[in-house]
Amino acid sequence: MSNVYDPKSSSYVDRSKRHSNGAAKALLEVMDRKKSNLCVSVDVAQKQSFLTIIDTVGPYVCLIKTHVDIIEDFDDQLLAELKALSERHDFLIFEDRKFADIGNTVKLQYAKGVHKIANWAHIVNAHPVPGPSIVEGLASVGLPLGRGLLLLAEMSTKDNLATGEYTTRAVQMARQRPDFVIGFIAQRRMETIGSHDTSHGEDFLILTPGVGLDVQGDGMGQQYRTPKHVITEAGCDVIIVGRGIYGNGDDVDAIRKQAQRYQADGWKAYLDRLSK
43, 101, 136, 233: residue in contact with ligand BMP (rule CB under 6 A): 43
Distance separating alpha carbons of residues 253 and 250, to the nearest angstrom: 9
- The response to whether 263 counts as a known ligand-binding position is no
Stretch touching ligand BMP by CB under 6 A, among 83-91, 135-143, 195-203, 237-245: 237-245
User: Half-sphere exposure (CA, 13 Å, Cβ side) for 165?
Assistant: 0
Contacts of 220-227 with CB under 8 Å at 24 or more apart are 221/157, 221/158, 221/159, 222/156, 222/157, 223/156, 223/157, 223/158, 224/156, 225/187, 226/265, 227/262, 227/265, 227/266, 227/268, 227/269
Site string for ligand BMP, 93-122 (x = CB under 6 A): ---x--------------------------
CB of 148 to ligand BMP, least distance (A): 16
7, 58, 142, 242: residue in contact with ligand BMP (rule CB under 6 A): 242
- The response to whether 41 counts as a known ligand-binding position is no
* Alpha-carbon dihedral sign for residues 155, 159, 162, 165: positive
- The response to whether 6 counts as a known ligand-binding position is no
Tell me which residue has its CB nearest to ligand BMP.
242
Which residues on neighbouring strands pair with residue 223, listed in sequence order? 217
Distance separating alpha carbons of residues 268 and 226, to the nearest angstrom: 12
**What single DSSP character describes residue 225?**
B
Size of the site for ligand BMP (CB under 6 A): 16
Question: Does 167 help bind ligand BMP (rule: CB under 6 A)?
Answer: no
CB of 121 to ligand BMP, least distance (A): 14
238, 244, 269, 270: residue in contact with ligand BMP (rule CB under 6 A): 244
CB of 125 to ligand BMP, least distance (A): 7
- The response to whether 77 counts as a known ligand-binding position is no
SS3 label, residue 63 = strand
Instruction: Report whether 22 contacts 146 (CB < 8 A).
Output: yes
SS3 label, residue 182 = strand
Parallel, antiparallel or unpaired: strands 92-99 and 63-66: parallel
CB of 155 to ligand BMP, least distance (A): 3
185, 231, 259, 269: residue in contact with ligand BMP (rule CB under 6 A): 185
Using CB under 6 A as the criterion, which residues of the chain lie in contact with ligand BMP when the complex forms? 41, 43, 67, 96, 155-156, 185, 209-210, 218, 222, 240-244
**Binding-site annotation, residues for substrate:** 43, 65, 156, 222, 242-243
